[in-house]
Amino acid sequence: MQPLPWRLELRDFRVFRRVDFAPEGVVALAAPNGAGKTTMNRALQLLSVLFNRNHEDALSIISPRLLLHVKATPPGPVLCSLSVGDVTWRLRLPVDSQGLTGRYGEELLRGGELVTRAAMHQQDWLHHNKRRTMPMNEQRCCARIVWDEERPDWLEPLFRLLSTLRVHSDYQLTQLTGPWQRGGRHTYLHPTGANLWTVLDNWRGSRKHTEQYNWTLEHARRAFPDLISGIDFTPFLGVYRPDAPEEAIPPELLANGLLTGLCHLTAVAGAEDGATLTFDEVEDALHPHAIRTILAAMRARAEARGLTILLTTHSPVVLNEFRGEPSQVYIIERGPKAREPDRSEVLPLTEARDPHWLSHFELGDLYAAEDIASQSALAAAGT
């Protein structure tokens, strides 16, 4: 399965003056605290929610009053653009320190030619192909209206990307350790992980999803060889351990690392072919052995299913797993080593540092020593 290559462009979006980001395969994004790792995920989530739901839900992801870069001139605009193939969907948000100052602008382009355009602050939008103006819809963005009403083949890649995108962060582990009741038809993991047990139970009982269930359990056993051998869903939920094969341990006694690892693996197993997934601080609660095992499983799955997986991280262990492929590591950098010191930049590590120099070190060691993505350099630059 071939992946859906995409490109995210941001202008004056939160901490970023300019971003041009086009990851492929499994990539790591390393940066100091507050540099913008989570912001990258939130930008993708904003676009997905706006396309699939409505602008109110989308703008609740990042408060509009916090969107504009501190050095940008109010009222913006903040630009957020996503390209897939020859299709580009571009948003312009007029914001200042108080929030959104009017209706956002929107453009849909194919091969560089405008298909639809809605100017900022306007209540109408223009469909160039149909040569007519239509009133703005309070719920649906213009790009979604075109998809829902026309289903053009050229727009399908953008629809597929945004409808299968999953942004995972801050799993709600407390919901996984409480009482569980069978029910619901969920077959993919919610971004919060709250439906983990329901998804696994549904997979286990469905011939269509047997492969996903077996893959998840197989790699969970490898990542946590002392903690899990199987899962019992009847009559009560519990996890079997290798040293207690006849007694299922209830969820409230499970380690957070095991729950986190199960969420990661279930998210990847349930992703549609060609989909994009992001995991914020993927190493949280995980032992180094579990990190290495789960990353290996992610890589194999991504290659087989054409997935794009973005891992934000502070972990030298995670970065060391990218030995031999530094081009798959991105850093957010600002300060003397950045190409434009007054801007936070998202760069492939091989563009930020000499590849020959990198080949002499473990990437995690360079990060720990602050030779890449340095917190002190960021602080010196005033971020």
Evaluate if residue 99 carries a pLDDT over 50.
Answer: yes
Residue 378 or 186, more confident: 186
pLDDT at 377: 56
pLDDT at 125: 95
Cα 261 → chain centroid: 17
The proportion of the chain whose per-residue pLDDT surpasses 90, expressed as a percent, equals: 74
CA distances from 25 to 174, 280, 298, 306, 327 (A): 31, 16, 10, 7, 11
CA distance linking residue 183 with residue 344, whole number of Å: 46
pLDDT at 378: 55
Kindly list the domain boundaries of the chain, sorted by start residue. Answer: 1-22+39-164
pLDDT at 3: 73
What residues have CB less than 8 Å from 233, skipping those under 6 apart? 182, 197, 200, 201, 204
85: left (phi over 0), alpha (psi -120 to 50) or beta: left
CA distance linking residue 119 with residue 102, whole number of Å: 11
Tokens of 291: 């990190």
CA distance linking residue 362 with residue 353, whole number of Å: 14
CA distance linking residue 292 with residue 331, whole number of Å: 20
Lowest-confidence segment of 55-69, 82-96, 271-285, 303-317 by average pLDDT = 55-69
Q: Which runs of E-coded beta strand occur in the chain?
A: 6-13, 16-21, 26-30, 78-84, 87-93, 95-96, 99-100, 105-110, 113-118, 124-127, 132-135, 166-168, 230-232, 238-241, 244-249, 276-279, 308-313, 329-333, 345-348
> pTM for the complete prediction?
0.93
What pLDDT band is residue 153 in, cutting at 50, 70 and 90? very high
* Residues 79-88, mean pLDDT to the nearest whole number: 96
Q: Look at the chain and count its residues.
A: 383
Evaluate if residue 335 carries a pLDDT over 70.
Answer: no
